[in-house]
Amino acid sequence: TLGSPTQRRPGSRQRFVADLSQCLFDFVVQLLPTQEELAVKEDVRKLLERLIRTIEPESRLLSFGSTANGFSLRNSDMDLCCLIDSEERLAASDLVTMLGDLLERETKFYVKSLPHARIPIVKLSLDPSPGLPLGIACDIGFENRLALENTRLLMCYAMIDPARVRTMVLFLKVWSKRRKINSPYKGTLSSYGYVLLVIYFLVHVKNPPVLPNLQQMPPLRPISEEDTHLHGHNIWFFDDIELLRQRWHSDNNESVADLLIDFFRYYSRDFPYNTGVASIRSGLLKKDSKGWQNDLSNQRYNDARERNRLCIEDPFETDFNVGRCVTKDGLYTIRGEFMRASRILASRPERAIVALAELCE
């Protein structure tokens, strides 16, 4: 029996929100990767590292993305980055070609090398097996040190308040995939983009904030310019999470369901899509001040406008818009989904589990 909200007993709102929080935890837990899956992935990483070292003995193969930042779902792909410590090294494109050939000869992976892509990578996939019932998909890139650092930043944010941050992020990842708005190649947003939207919301929108701004906290001791910069980008952030847990605590006690409801409301109604840039480093910025115009009148800016419908500043590469893949239609769809989610949660069906199922339909 789904009475209208006004007919409900007082306290039903609190009950709905408490139930929703519990449902969110339960829902997310069953989507986490199994120990077995993690072990198989680590074995794959080691195997690939061993093979790459036959070409570049000084190389290391490191995980980044969801496998390394605490936001991994069952069967998510593996993002690997090859770092080469020697001075004399092959060009990335040559390495990609050689590695692709080697893996094709020596392993059972399906291999696709993209030596001439903007970022040269080797794509691998493996058919399902007992340890990996859904197979595996893996991208190997080279020297992407900024991605390793932004992975570490997201991991630190996840560790500060795992119960709320990880639950929200994991839920939004599943939700955005089920609602088909998680495809940068089709004009919507990457998982990385959604994670940044969540952190932006928890650091800069919520008051009191749920998370501190790790990039603006004072360092414990002076650090040289050289140690904080990579390719001209300031990559410093407060990463001593143990210490942070002792010294900082959030005055925001909202439940994960409260935060999620508010998240959907904020991004369906309040975020200034036309003029604003969400920056986890600096808060709300103006498109104008970053040169990310969306001036309708000027022909010259047409391309810029298409790329800057949804503006999310990368935490380190501050001249890079993580939302640049989002098209006009894509943004329309994404906002439509935020509104739909808001509506479902505001209509408060009697049971939270029903609301959750409808959300992810």
Residues at the contact surface with ligand CTP, assessed by CB under 6 A: 64-66, 69, 71, 73, 76-77, 79, 147, 150-151, 173, 190-192, 322
Which partner in Mg ion, ligand CTP, none is near 151 (CB below 5 to 8 A by kind)? ligand CTP
CA 352 to chain centre: 26
C-beta of 279: minimal distance to Mg ion in Å?
Answer: 22
Considering the complex, state which of residue 16 and residue 157 has its C-beta at the smaller distance from ligand CTP: 157
C-beta of 28: minimal distance to ligand CTP in Å?
Answer: 13
Considering the complex, state which of residue 18 and residue 83 has its C-beta at the smaller distance from ligand CTP: 83
Which partner in ligand CTP, Mg ion, none is near 190 (CB below 5 to 8 A by kind)? ligand CTP
**Can residue 70 be called a binding residue for Mg ion (CB under 5 A)?**
no
Q: Residue 99 has which token pair?
A: 């590695």
Asked if 189 and 180 count as a contact pair (C-beta separation under 8 A), the reply is no
Only segment of 78-86, 119-127, 171-179, 334-342 that touches Mg ion (CB under 5 A): 78-86
Considering the complex, state which of residue 21 and residue 176 has its C-beta at the smaller distance from ligand CTP: 176
Considering the complex, state which of residue 74 and residue 269 has its C-beta at the smaller distance from ligand CTP: 74
C-beta of 215: minimal distance to ligand CTP in Å?
Answer: 15
Considering the complex, state which of residue 195 and residue 352 has its C-beta at the smaller distance from Mg ion: 195
Only segment of 44-52, 74-82, 302-310, 346-354 that touches Mg ion (CB under 5 A): 74-82
Cis peptide bond upstream of 33, omega within 30: no
C-beta of 78: minimal distance to ligand CTP in Å?
Answer: 9
C-beta of 79: minimal distance to ligand CTP in Å?
Answer: 5
* 65, 70, 187, 212: residue in contact with Mg ion (rule CB under 5 A): 65
Catalog residues that contact Mg ion under the rule CB under 5 A: 65-66, 77, 79
